[in-house]
Structure 1
Amino acid sequence: MNRQTLSLIAGATALAAVTGFATLSAPDTSGGETTAKAAAQLPVQRTSLLCPQPSTSDLAETAYTAFTPVTEGTGGEGGAELVAAGGGSTTPDTGDDGDKDDKGDKGGKDKAAKPVIEAKEPGKPVADDTDGGDSPALIGTAEGKFAPGWTVQETTEVAAGTGRGLLGVSCTAPDTEFWFPGASTAAGRTDYVHLVNPDDSAAVVDIELFGKDGALKSTVGDGITVQPSSDEPVLLSTLATAKEADLTVHVNVRSGRVAAAVQALDDKQGGDWLSAAADPAGSLVLPGIPRDATSVTLVAFAPGETDADLKLRLASPNGPITPAGNETLHVKGGMTATADLGDITRGEPGSLILTPTDRAVPVVAALRVVRGKGVARETAFIPATRAVGARATVADNRAKGTTLALTAPTGAAKVKVTASAGSGGGEATTKTFTIKAGTTQNVEMPAPNGLKGTYALTVESTSGGPVHASRTLESKLDSVPAFTIQTLPDDRGMVAVPEARQDLSILQR
């Protein structure tokens, strides 16, 4: 046996042992079966979620809620936990005075290793809370049966000061690119981009700002280093001298990966988190404008040099409506465009649907929504979002002040909505809803029987066209109608896995 043959056998053995070498099954070309089998849909095995630092206000009260819906085929192993970025401690308010004594201790292996939240079982939320402005960002990991559909909500109530109100964000997975239409550097606004790096090596990030006339001149937005396992808040007004009321922020990661979210704080109109908009597309859906919105502003941006012309429609409970005076919006390539839609809903819930008037040009978009009047105004944001798809979940729903909005932009659809057991007790309940084409429906979803604590809402598409959804959470701060809105995109808890088989003969071809 010559040396070349021995090397080939040795190489094949090593590949088989180390990697379980496999290839996609190819159709039999000898005249037998020629139809390739479809890829199997299997649950994901690991999910990462990152929560930004909630607030620097001493008056902040922050609640964290984590939840995993029950998924078939996941087996019996796994776990999920949230830990403080950088090894710090949030010192959760558990009522245990022994824990309180350690507040301010940012070091120590025991404190660094202790999870802020640790899941107990799928199908039941787990929640905790913390007070003050020194709570760090959180880094979360779910594995095994806890990974598919894992969701974490961070909700902060700030009683007074800049950005007072209710600020909520669904903690996000790390990625390499994000778009945020709706940010601002105007007087009275204090906007931060929070960059959370979950990895053991530094990430390098570029931040670009685009206003009504195009890119804002800036050099300090290039090559921002985000240290390992840390949250880097970047004040937008330090990146450019121009004062723009409506900006689009583009976060591009050169190396590594981060999660990104914009904290938009207003001196007079409260504030909220602005989550990343859906990827640029020719048609977009922005679901769940509250029925009592007093002001709605659309902010859109067309990446690249091609202009986009958009048709605006409001999906109301009774069907699509073209808003008078705002039938279309022209978006110049590389520039941010806005449309003041006023009180577009006029006492009824609605969703904004953007479609091309002619040629489809990819755009990103978000809505800035204001409730209340005078000094009692509060702001939230609705970014364009992906459809619910197979399943989507939002956590931290309360017995009062929770509204789920569903819209079917292109065709009638049926969805199944499940209210989970409560974080402190209660029984799950499920209802099915039919959403007519071109409409938005605020569903009357009963809270779980015997609810204690908060619960999760899971939406599953069962038939018909695509459905888009958002959840509005309300609370009362004196006379201020405090609220926050989170969208419900597909949780991507299932992944297509092609059929594979061992094939060592490929090494001899």
Structure 2
Amino acid sequence: MHEHTGSPAAAEHKPAAGDDTSRGNLPTPGAKQSGGEKRARKAVVGSVASALLVLAGAGAVVVAGSALPPVESSRTVPPAAAAVPAGASQGVCAGPARLLEGTQAGTDPQFSPESATAATSVTGAVLSAAGVLPPSRLAGLDGRTTVELAKAGDKAAAEQRAQNLLAGVVAARPVTGPSVLTADPLANQQASAAGAMKFSATDGDLQGSAAANCLRPSNDQWLAGASTTVGRTSVLVLTNASSTPATVSLELFGKAGRIQAPGSRGLLVAPKTTRSVVLAGLAPAEAQLAVHVRSTGGPVAAVIQQSTLRGLTPGGLDFIAPGAAPAVRQVMPGVDIQDPAGIESLMENTGYEDAGPVLQLTVPGPSDAVVEVKLLGRDGEKTLPAGGVVTAKAGAVTEVSLAGVPAGQYTVSASSDVSFVATARMGRGLKAGTASDMAWAPSGLRLGSQHVVPVPPGGTRRLVFGVLDTRATITYAAITADGKVHAPESADIAGGTTAAVTVAEKVAGSGVVGYVVSASGDAAYGSVVIYGADGRNDISALGLLPAAAGQETVPVRVGY
């Protein structure tokens, strides 16, 4: 590379002594010019004139350019709303409850077979749109179809367009492992579908019943109500039904605060698989444990299999499902509270300290929460013996006893100016030394329009609704095993109360497998509570799942 030293025209001119060009190459005034000097003078003048013309032209170009409108790419274009294609409705159903046999190094468990009487089934329904059922199926994690609810272009469904609503139904289908209920979108609308799994056993350490909704996979969910003290077993079950690997990290909260647990981060769940984690390996001897499950990559469905053994006596089984995300108000409908005198007598026995009804509050943030708790019964609000205001510590789990109010079904409402997570425990059985059961009622969502509510068979089943402030009207239409959606019934519920509707075994000669539920008016919440048959102390609770999402749009900005 050569250094540029300038052109000869730009070189410095050093005139000699007496040279007339020392004054700008122009002759002095009055000097006589030779012919050569005249020609030189004309050349200089011409050059200057040419330069002036170039400068004038450049100025004209600049002025003209300034007067032109801006080019198209420099204009501000408002973002356009683009419709997002509707996705499939997917619910991941947990597999049967399993008894722990031992634990390998780390946190992955080994399981023993179920008891001789253990049975697990899935019940679900998918609603039609414009008289046509969307393609839908119940399948295993490996993709093999167990039940086909409707095929694409199902002519049988199309011929029944005269009926407003049809349903594809899974009626208590026995399963031996995790399963997935899927309904494809129809006419670019997400299908209305929901399913629930129910486990029951009348012998062994896992006596009782447990039910869980078929969950929509998520990358962020909260589960509260676990316990890892002596006789209590908590197994977190993570299911990845997607085709993308999921990396899961757990945040653990106990009574004393956050729990730093080696091995709680970077848990890999391969596609189409389930991974189980024994929570006692991460947080041993915790009577009150909440888990925040977050994943990157594929979304997961998370439940906690919680079981209790009081000495040699089975103390209950439940599948703890995710509740509502942290918020300043949490509502738990369908909390069944037994006779207060019987609860007090039972809890005096060794090993039964956790047999009573409680509300658990988890505050994930850095500030304490002052929480107001209300119990709304059939005839209005009931006052807790210890008062209705409690301080929940930041970063910890706080427990509030719900014992001492008259027996009945309640909606528990908790509110604060700090976001928190909540869940409520209830039990059945008041005699020590006999098998009992328990269930957790997760915080629910405000009811809207056309929720599909599966109702697993067996025992006494109730729809429980709670209304907080003024009044609300609930409509519920039965879905039967023959695929019919029957005429809706309605209930007008006063604010500050809880109402229950007993589910009939059959409607028009066909078994009831679910309901279509809608609400109008003030904020209303709902759940399904299932009691054991033949006088057994079984109890299970299901929150109502969100209704199908409408068509969504996102803003699209064009630029570079």
- The bucket for the TM-score relative to the shorter chain is 0.7 to 0.9
Whichever residue aligns with residue 332 of structure 1, its letter is K
- Give the direction of change, closer, same or farther, for the CA distance of 1:495–1:439 in structure 2 (3 Å limit): farther
- Give the direction of change, closer, same or farther, for the CA distance of 1:347–1:54 in structure 2 (3 Å limit): same
User: Per-residue displacement from partner, 1:81-125 (whole Å, max 9, x unpaired)?
Assistant: 12212x3xxxxxxxxxxxxxxxxxxxxxxxxx5412221364242
1:58: which partner in 2?
114
One of 415, 419, 440 as aligned partner of 1:362? 419
1:480: which partner in 2?
536
Whichever residue aligns with residue 181 of structure 2, its letter is G
Shift of 1:383: 0.8
The residue correspondences of 1:279-358 to structure 2 (distance < 5 A) are 279-290=325-336, 292=338, 294=343, 295-342=356-403, 344=405, 346-356=406-416
Decide whether the 8 Å contact of 2:139 with 2:180 is kept in 1.
yes
Decide whether the 8 Å contact of 1:43 with 1:148 is kept in 2.
no
One of 80, 90, 112 as aligned partner of 1:48? 90
In the alignment, structure 1 residue 115 sits paired with structure 2 residue 157: no
- Give the direction of change, closer, same or farther, for the CA distance of 1:138–1:446 in structure 2 (3 Å limit): closer
Unaligned runs of 5+ in 2: 1-70, 73-77, 99-112, 151-156, 158-165, 344-355
- The whole-number CA distance in structure 1 between the counterparts of 2:333 and 2:133 is 36
Decide whether the 8 Å contact of 2:172 with 2:456 is kept in 1.
no
- Give the direction of change, closer, same or farther, for the CA distance of 1:76–1:497 in structure 2 (3 Å limit): farther
Shift of 1:46: 1.6
1:32: which partner in 2?
none
One of 275, 278, 287 as aligned partner of 2:324? 278
- Give the direction of change, closer, same or farther, for the CA distance of 1:202–1:387 in structure 2 (3 Å limit): same
Decide whether the 8 Å contact of 1:208 with 1:221 is kept in 2.
yes
The residue correspondences of 1:185-264 to structure 2 (distance < 5 A) are 185-240=228-283, 242-264=284-306
Decide whether the 8 Å contact of 2:472 with 2:521 is kept in 1.
yes
Whichever residue aligns with residue 470 of structure 1, its letter is S
Whichever residue aligns with residue 180 of structure 2, its letter is I
SS in 2 for 1:393: strand
Shift of 1:207: 1.6
In the alignment, structure 1 residue 161 sits paired with structure 2 residue 204: yes
1:143: which partner in 2?
184
The residue correspondences of 1:338-487 to structure 2 (distance < 5 A) are 338-342=399-403, 344=405, 346-356=406-416, 360-373=417-430, 374=432, 375-398=434-457, 401-420=460-479, 422-424=480-482, 428-444=486-502, 446=504, 448-461=506-519, 463-476=520-533, 480-487=536-543
Whichever residue aligns with residue 381 of structure 1, its letter is W
- Give the direction of change, closer, same or farther, for the CA distance of 1:348–1:139 in structure 2 (3 Å limit): closer
Larger Rg: 2
- The whole-number CA distance in structure 1 between the counterparts of 2:501 and 2:135 is 32
Decide whether the 8 Å contact of 1:326 with 1:341 is kept in 2.
no
1:69: which partner in 2?
127
Shift of 1:490: 2.7
2:137: which partner in 1?
81
SS in 2 for 1:406: strand
Decide whether the 8 Å contact of 2:86 with 2:190 is kept in 1.
yes
Decide whether the 8 Å contact of 1:53 with 1:231 is kept in 2.
no
1:106: which partner in 2?
none
Decide whether the 8 Å contact of 2:384 with 2:404 is kept in 1.
no
SS in 1 for 2:280: helix
Shift of 1:479: 5.4
SS in 1 for 2:291: strand
Shift of 1:255: 3.1
1:174: which partner in 2?
217
Unaligned runs of 5+ in 1: 1-7, 10-21, 26-38, 88-112
Residue correspondences, number: 433
- The whole-number CA distance in structure 2 between the counterparts of 1:392 and 1:425 is 16
Which structure carries more relative contact order (alpha carbon 8 Å, separation 6+)? 1
Shift of 1:389: 1.8
Whichever residue aligns with residue 119 of structure 1, its letter is L
Shift of 1:66: 1.8
User: Per-residue displacement from partner, 1:328-350 (whole Å, max 9, x unpaired)?
Assistant: 22111101100122253x23221
Q: CA RMSD in A?
A: 2.9
- Give the direction of change, closer, same or farther, for the CA distance of 1:45–1:201 in structure 2 (3 Å limit): closer
Shift of 1:411: 2.3
Whichever residue aligns with residue 280 of structure 1, its letter is P
Shift of 1:443: 2.4
Decide whether the 8 Å contact of 2:125 with 2:195 is kept in 1.
yes
Sequence identity percentage:
23
- The whole-number CA distance in structure 1 between the counterparts of 2:337 and 2:168 is 31
- Give the direction of change, closer, same or farther, for the CA distance of 1:77–1:169 in structure 2 (3 Å limit): closer
TM-score (norm 2): 0.71
- The whole-number CA distance in structure 2 between the counterparts of 1:454 and 1:443 is 14
- Give the direction of change, closer, same or farther, for the CA distance of 1:489–1:49 in structure 2 (3 Å limit): closer
SS in 2 for 1:237: helix
Shift of 1:69: 3.0
Decide whether the 8 Å contact of 1:470 with 1:487 is kept in 2.
yes
SS in 1 for 2:322: coil
Decide whether the 8 Å contact of 1:427 with 1:451 is kept in 2.
no
- Give the direction of change, closer, same or farther, for the CA distance of 1:165–1:336 in structure 2 (3 Å limit): same
2:38: which partner in 1?
none
- Give the direction of change, closer, same or farther, for the CA distance of 1:399–1:165 in structure 2 (3 Å limit): closer
- The whole-number CA distance in structure 1 between the counterparts of 2:242 and 2:257 is 33
Shift of 1:452: 3.2
One of 171, 175, 198 as aligned partner of 1:127? 171
SS in 1 for 2:408: coil
2:49: which partner in 1?
none
- Give the direction of change, closer, same or farther, for the CA distance of 1:440–1:173 in structure 2 (3 Å limit): same
- The whole-number CA distance in structure 2 between the counterparts of 1:397 and 1:126 is 10
Decide whether the 8 Å contact of 2:167 with 2:485 is kept in 1.
no
- The whole-number CA distance in structure 2 between the counterparts of 1:342 and 1:43 is 49
- The whole-number CA distance in structure 2 between the counterparts of 1:164 and 1:400 is 15
Name whichever of 445-454 and 157-166 sits farther off.
445-454
SS in 2 for 1:363: strand
- Give the direction of change, closer, same or farther, for the CA distance of 1:321–1:342 in structure 2 (3 Å limit): closer
- Give the direction of change, closer, same or farther, for the CA distance of 1:305–1:451 in structure 2 (3 Å limit): farther
